[in-house]
C-alpha cells in the first residue's frame, strides 16, 4: 500500500475560524511533510517531521501549527488564516528524510483550502 | 545550497513522438535527483530517481532519465508519448547533506493527438 490519505478534500474557512487538516500513511514511513502549493507553482515546503519530531520549520507563520501524534498521522492546525493562505496543502511521507538513502516522497491528493 | 531549473514552461509533442523534459541542477555535494508528475487537482506522483550507479534510470509508465554529471542535467525522456502523459512534471533535487528537497518550477507537457 503506497497511499497517503488526506482529509478533508476541500475546506472553506473564514479568517476567524479554527480548522485542522489530517494526513495518514500506513507504509511505516518515518518522515512526513507538509507542503503548500499555489496554482501552477511547485510545492513549497512548510514542515518536516522525522521520527515524530519536528526537524524543519521553513519559517512558517504561527497561524499554521503542525502536530505529529504518532508515526502514521500528521495534522496541520489552522487559525486566523489570511486569504493569501488559500492553496492546495499537500502531505507527503518517505522512509527517511535525509542521509544517503535518497528516499522518494509519496504525496497525498491534497486539501484545497479557501480562506474567505 | 541546492537549486534546480526547468527551462521550459511548456513542452508540446505529437502523440507517438519521443519526448524530453529538461532539468538542470546545482548542489555542493552528491545530488539525489527525482522526477514527479502531477495531474490536475491531484498530488504529485513519483516517477523515478537517481541516487548512484547507472546514469540511465528507468521509471514508471515507460519514462526514463539520464544523469549527466558534467552537464549537471537530469532530463526526463520517453520514446513514444501518449495523450495521457499530458500533465505537469517537476524535477527535484536533494543535496546529500540535507533533508530538504527543492522542486523545479515545473514543465507542462502537452501531448497532441
Task: Assess contact for B108 and B11: CB atoms under 8 A.
Answer: yes
Chain A residues within an 8 Å CB radius of B90: 42-43
What is the H or E stretch that residue A85 is in?
none
The confidence band for A1, taking pLDDT boundaries of 50, 70 and 90, is: low
Taking the C-alpha atoms of residue A61 and residue A65, their distance in angstroms, rounded to an integer, is 8
Q: Report CB contact under 8 Å: B105, A42.
A: yes
pLDDT digits (tens, 9 = 90+) for B9-59: 999 999 999 999 999 999 988 899 999 999 988 889 999 999 988 999 999
In chain A, whose CA is at the least distance from the CA of B89? A42
Q: B5 has which bridge partners?
A: B24
**Mean residue pLDDT across chain B:** 94
Question: Which pLDDT value is given to residue A100?
Answer: 67
Contacts of A39 by beta carbon, 8 Å cutoff, 6+ apart: A88
DSSP 3-state of A105: coil
A2 has pLDDT over 90: no
Residue A98 grid cell: 535525509
Give which of A75, A39, A78 is closest to A60, Cα–Cα. Answer: A78
Please count the other Cβ atoms lying within 10 Å of the Cβ belonging to residue A37: 19
Q: Where are the beta strands (DSSP E) in chain A?
A: 4-7, 10-13, 18-25, 31-37, 44-50, 53-57, 64-70, 73-79, 87-94, 106-107, 111-115
Question: Which pLDDT value is given to residue B59?
Answer: 95
**Cis peptide, bond prior to residue A8, ω within 30 of zero:** yes
Q: Report CB contact under 8 Å: B49, A102.
A: yes
Amino acid at each position: 500500500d503506497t497511499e497517503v490519505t488526506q482529509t478533508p478534500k476541500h475546506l472553506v474557512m473564514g479568517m476567524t475560524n479554527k480548522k485542522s487538516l489530517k494526513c495518514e500513511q500506513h507504509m511505516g514511513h518515518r518522515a512526513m511533510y507538509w507542503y503548500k502549493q499555489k496554482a501552477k507553482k511547485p510545492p513549497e515546503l512548510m514542515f518536516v517531521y522525522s521520527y515524530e519530531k519536528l526537524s524543519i520549520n521553513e519559517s512558517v507563520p504561527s497561524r499554521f501549527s503542525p502536530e505529529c501524534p504518532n508515526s502514521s498521522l500528521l495534522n496541520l492546525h489552522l487559525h486566523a488564516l489570511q486569504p493569501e493562505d488559500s492553496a492546495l496543502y499537500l502531505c507527503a511521507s518517505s522512509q527517511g528524510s535525509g542521509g544517503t538513502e535518497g528516499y522518494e516522497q509519496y504525496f497525498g491528493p491534497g486539501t484545497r483550502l479557501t480562506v474567505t | 545550497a541546492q537549486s534546480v531549473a526547468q527551462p521550459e514552461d511548456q513542452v508540446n509533442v505529437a502523440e507517438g513522438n519521443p519526448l524530453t523534459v529538461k532539468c538542470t541542477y546545482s548542489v555542493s555535494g552528491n545530488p539525489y535527483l527525482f522526477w514527479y508528475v502531477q495531474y490536475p487537482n491531484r498530488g504529485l506522483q513519483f516517477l523515478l530517481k537517481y541516487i548512484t550507479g547507472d546514469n540511465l534510470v528507468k521509471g514508471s509508465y515507460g519514462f526514463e532519465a539520464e544523469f549527466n554529471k558534467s552537464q549537471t542535467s537530469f532530463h526526463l525522456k520517453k520514446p513514444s508519448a501518449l495523450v495521457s502523459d499530458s500533465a505537469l512534471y517537476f524535477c527535484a533535487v536533494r543535496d546529500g547533506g540535507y533533508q530538504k528537497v527543492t522542486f523545479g518550477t515545473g514543465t507542462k507537457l502537452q501531448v497532441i493527438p
